[in-house]
Amino acid sequence: MQKKMRAVQAIVMLALIGAQPVARARQVSEAHVVPLTHSTVQTMDKRVDAIRGDRTKVGEAFVIRIRAEAGYIIMPHTHPVDENIVVLQGSWALGMGERFARQRLEPMEPGTFGFAAKTMAHFALSRTDTVIQVHGIGPFSAKWVVPVYELTDHGVLFKTRAEDPGRAVTDFPKDCFALELGSRVRASYGEGKVIGAQCTPGELTQYRVEKEGTGAHFWGQRDELTPF
């Protein structure tokens, strides 16, 4: 009987010893380092890097990085979950409220942490080309307080959420887009041509400008842009 017990114990010990390297290997394979140059999703107004987890799944931890171009205003929006923000590169600013107001913006430089509680309306400004890192527990999405209209090469799109591809429309506020695509403008960020725009009716319209000869982009409102 004792011999059988020793044999069983030996088998269990061998099984445990054999399993340990596998478990360690699995942990090592799941650990990784993601450089700032990594990029996965691109839209007109920002690029989103999926760093860890799936932000669309309920209860799943996620980490994303958002790359925003200089001058871009993230209009008031809400999230169904808490948003934790850390600035990695550039100069950012965060404000609370259902209408964009520059005087409510709080500056955020690299290393600064910002927090927006779930369902709390907030907005932001990318003062320079910026990379922020956002983490939380899914599902994470952004709903505009006021739906926006986007002027694109494919016409005007209507969007209620930042993630929406947009719905093509022909009926939109006529005062939304004072400048046409291709208009040549200059601003404090440089000069170039208008290649897109985003209108929040009753609040503001901002234009995306491509710098000539560089492929870089910046954003500006009508009164910040001088046609030439």
Q: Looking at 10-14, 53-57, 154-158, 222-226, which range is the least confident one? A: 10-14
Break the chain into its structural domains and give their ranges: 1-31, 41-141, 144-227
What CATH topology corresponds to 41-141? Jelly Rolls (2.60.120)
- Do the beta carbons of residue 48 and residue 40 sit within 8 Å? yes
CB count within 10 Å of CB 22 equals 9
Q: Averaging pLDDT over each range in 12-21, 113-122, 213-222, which range is the top one?
A: 113-122
User: In degrees to the nearest 10, what's the CA dihedral of 115, 133, 136, 160?
Assistant: 80
21, pLDDT greater than 80: no
CATH classification code of 144-227: 2.30.30
pLDDT for the residue 61: 97
Classified as helix, coil or strand, 28 is helix
CA distance 161 to 200: 12
Residue 82 burial by Cβ neighbours in a 10 Å radius (0-12, 13-18, 19+)? middle
